[in-house]
Amino acid sequence: METKKNDLSKCFDLPSLCPVFNIRAASRIITQLFDEILKPSGLQSTQFAVLVGVHIFDTPSINKLAKGLVMDRTTLTRGLKPLENEGLIKIVSGDDKRIRFVKLTPKGKTALEKTLPYWEKARSVVSDEFGQKHLDGLLKDLASVREIKN
């Protein structure tokens, strides 16, 4: 008889064709590479991205910053703590007492300037490792993953 068994042979497809496995593994590797190179700056990849977001969105609310960084709001809340403790950002209120704005301090601005060269270095390492054209394609694909959310 032909057994319709829900067997486990499909498991062997995971390394080659599972999106979540592949993207998480790649994410870990890229993050480690960047964190290693950013180390002398004192910032981690995510913290750097948050500071950049605070700069380019120009003292945004928590919500706006979270949206801009494609992060969960509550994740961002926790992530802001160490930056605030280090004095790199300051949380300020306005007229609407619900809203809290994230402001880059002078110290935060300095940290950002100091980190940018390491960021460029890390990018060039990835680019060398990967090929500029290849990397451009990957970045475009990753950006389009963000579209799924909408």
Partner DNA sequence: TAATTATAGGTGTGTATACACCTATTACAT
Partner DNA sequence: ATGTAATAGGTGTATACACACCTATAATTA
Q: Which residues bind DNA (CB under 7 A)?
A: 24, 28-29, 31-32, 35-36, 44-47, 61-64, 71-75, 77-79, 81-82, 91, 95-101
CA distance 82 to 99: 20
Q: What is the chain's Cα-based Rg?
A: 20
- Concatenated DSSP letters of 63-103: HHHHHHTT--HHHHHHHHHHHHHTTSEEEEE-SSTT-EEEE
Judged by CB, which is closer to a copy of itself: 38, or 101?
Answer: 38
| Contacting positions for a copy of itself (CB under 8 A) | 6-8, 10-12, 14-31, 33-34, 45-46, 49, 52-53, 55-56, 69-72, 109, 112-113, 116-117, 119-120, 122-123, 126, 129-130, 134-135, 137-139, 141-146, 148-149
Judged by CB, which is closer to a copy of itself: 70, or 94?
Answer: 70
Least spacing, CB of residue 147 vs a copy of itself, in Å: 8
Angle at 146 between CA 140 and CA 89, to 5 degrees: 105
CA distance 113 to 125: 20
Other CB atoms within 10 Å distance of the CB of residue 142: 12
Least spacing, CB of residue 98 vs a copy of itself, in Å: 25
Least spacing, CB of residue 105 vs a copy of itself, in Å: 14
Least spacing, CB of residue 150 vs a copy of itself, in Å: 10
